[in-house]
Structure formats: structure tokens, C-alpha cells
Structure 1
Amino acid sequence: MEIYLIRHTTPKIAKGICYGQSDLELSSDFDNEAAVVQQLIEKPLDYIFSSPLKRCAQLADSFDVPVQREPRLMELSFGDWEMKKWKDIPQAALNEWMENYVTQAPPKGESYKKLKARIVEIFKGIISQNRSSTGIITHAGPIRAILSHVLNLSLKDTFTLKIDYGSVTKISLVEGQFTVDYINKK
């Protein structure tokens, strides 16, 4: 089984804005970025699971395969911080969260540990279907959470993994054993 973890293409948003589950439009270069992503997939996909947010769903719909939108594949919820400038979030609260983001959630948001729990749950369901080639179109946080799961890597250490917009990470599952073929291919 081949699993392609695909990060959405570039969103249309100014730098320095906190967003996670906010539903953003895509940049004007979407068509070119989507074409590059499709070329990175080594063999035709049987099925795609996608975050329902526009930045993922639009990319999923650009493939000519069945797509299932799955809310558990959404990015981390930043709660009250969604769509605020990072510089406008009280520094003390931001510092406290950054020290403990694995277990502590932003106000009315979720922790990285909680995100991983929902991502691993859906990921196990996806792999149980044992399709030949599956795409998962999602966000950087969920991709890092899946890699944490398959590599037995601590959540805190996953931020050493670069996951660019429009990048593809490939995981193979053979006889119950995961291998990561590549990360962040662009």
C-alpha cells in the first residue's frame, strides 16, 4: 500500500496571521501548483481523503478520483487566536503555549496531542481499507502527526520536519511495516 500525504497549496493570506481551521481561499497560482502536485504522484491514486477546508478540498477535486472529505483531517484549531496577527496575541499567553504546545491548547483551541489522537484514528481507518494507492490531502500539522505515528517520533520533534505548501510525502505499508520513502518532495 502506498500512502501519499499531500499538503495543500499556497493559501491566500498575509504573512504573520494565525490560522488553522479557518477556511481560506487559495493563491492565484493554484492551477500551476496543483499541476506540480499531480506530477509528483508516482502512480494513479485509487482514492483521496481530504480535509474539508477549501485549501485541501479544491486540490482534492483537481484529481480524477473519488474523494472523501474528512473533518478529522483538518489543521490544529487555534480557537480564539484564529485569524489574529501573531503579534497581537498577548506575549505571555503565546510564550506559555509555545513552551507547552504539545499538551496545552490555545484558548478554545486544541493541543497538538489532541490533534494527533484524531489524526491517528482516521489514519488507522484509512490504512485498514488496504487500497493500493491512497492520497491524504491535509495540512502540515496532520502530516507531522502521521509521521510521528509511523516513525515513533515525539510530537515535539516533528517540527524539525519541513512540510512545504504543495509538497508530497510518501509512506509505504508492506506486511504491516511502514517505511517513509520521502518527505516534503516538491
Structure 2
Amino acid sequence: MEIYLIRHTTPDVAKGICYGQTDLDVTETFAGEVQSILPHLPPGIVAVYSSPLQRCKKLAEALFPQHQVQLHDDLMELNCGTWEMQEWNAIPKTEMQPWLDDFVNVTVPEGESYTQMHSRVINRFEQIAQQARPAVIVAHGGVLRSILAHITDTPLKESFDVFSCHYGCVVKLFLKDGKYEHEMLYNVSLAGKEWHRPTNQ
């Protein structure tokens, strides 16, 4: 039984902006990005799950128009609280530093920590995996890294360095000897380097 993880396409937001659960639209490159993803998807998908944010929902519906997309709030990106849509460089250093020192456990003001996000994501992933049917999860970079860290026993602190997940990437998960392994099928950076912290960090 295979599960495919797909990250949303390029969001319509300027570089250097902190965004998590802000409901960003996609860019004008969306149609082309969809066409780049399609060859890496297999026939026989039974269920499609997605974050409800439109950058994921639109992709899920474009890739699988014949399916009813099942939307789940717990597949949303990290809640960035009061930092949402602020420039990373504009967030006060005194407010940012504790999170930079321990982004896994420190909660974003009025938001959540990576550990809290990881908990809800893995709870949903395990429910999907228990269905034992070919499925797709369309979600966000933090969500994909949470799942990959979970199946590989990678510490969350290392997940951003270990797992490169560009916009539109496709990762296949498959069972081998009772444990999930993963294979990156498509992972091309069209938007250049992302930067989810102040540029002086």
C-alpha cells in the first residue's frame, strides 16, 4: 500500500514573509506546475486527502478531478500566530530568538510549536495509513517533513536539513518489512531558495 505526499505549488507571497496558516493563493505558474507533477503520479489512487488551505485544495482538485478531496485541518501548516504575514526581518529579535534557539519546542506567540504541529499531523497520517489503500496527501512543507521524520525516526530538529521538499514535490511512501520507506519522485526548485527565518540568522 503506497501513500504519496505532495507539497503545494508556489504560493502567491513575496519572499521573506512569514506565512503558515494564512490562506495564500497560488501563482500564475500553477497550471505549468500541475503538468510537471502529473507524470509522477500512479493510476489506482483510491483516496485523496488535503489541507483545506486553497494552495493545497486547488492542487488536489487539479491533480485528481475524479476524486472527492477529503479536507482535514490537521494537515495545515504550522500556525505562525502573530507572525503571520510579517517580514521575518521585522519580527523583534527578542521575540524571535527563543524560537530560533528551539523551534521544535517553543511555541510561536499565539501559534504553535513544531512539536504540536507534528502531533496533529502524525495522528492524521496514522489514521490514513490504517485505511490500507493507495492514497495521496496534499499538504505543506512542514507537514511533509513531519511525516518523513516520523517514518525515518529523524529528530524534528534535523528534519529541515535532512528533507528537501520544494514546491510541488512528490514523495512515495511504501511498506517494506512492515515499515514505511520513502522515495523522492519529483523535487525541482522553480522558485529558488526559501528562507523561513531572518536573513541574518
TM-score by length of 1: 0.95
5 Å-filtered alignment, 1:52-63, equals 52-62=52-62, 63=64
- Identify if the C-alpha distance between structure 1 residues 175 and 43 changes in structure 2 by more than 3 Å, giving closer, same or farther: farther
Q: Any idea what the Cα deviations from partners look like across 1:137-184, whole Å, max 9, x if unmatched?
A: 000001000011100110001011111000111110256321112265
Structure 2 stretches lacking a partner, 5+ long: 189-201
Aligned to 2:166: 164
Aligned residues: 185
CA distance in structure 2 between the partners assigned to 1:174 and 1:69 by the alignment: 28
- Matches of 1:56 and 1:3 in 2, distance apart? 16
2:141 is the alignment partner of 1:140: yes
Correspondence list, 1:43-58, <5 A:
43-58=43-58
CA–CA distance in structure 2, aligned partners of residues 111 and 125 of structure 1: 22
- Higher strand proportion (structure 1 or 2): 1
Query: What is the CA–CA distance in structure 1 between the aligned matches of 2:185 and 2:79, rounded to whole Å?
Result: 24
Residues 78 and 109 in structure 1, CA contact (< 8 A), matched pair in contact too: yes
In structure 1, give the amino acid aligned to 2:164. K
Q: Is the partner of 2:6 in helix, strand or coil?
A: strand
SS in 2 for 1:172: strand
Deviation, structure 1 residue 185: 3.2
Runs of at least 5 residues in structure 1 that lack an aligned partner in the other structure: none
> Do the aligned partners of residues 27 and 156 (structure 1) sit closer, same or farther apart at CA in structure 2, a change above 3 Å counting?
same
Equivalent residue, structure 2, for 1:76 = 78
- When normalised by structure 2's length, the TM-score is 0.88
Shift in alpha-carbon separation, 1:184–1:105, aligned structure 2, 3 A = farther
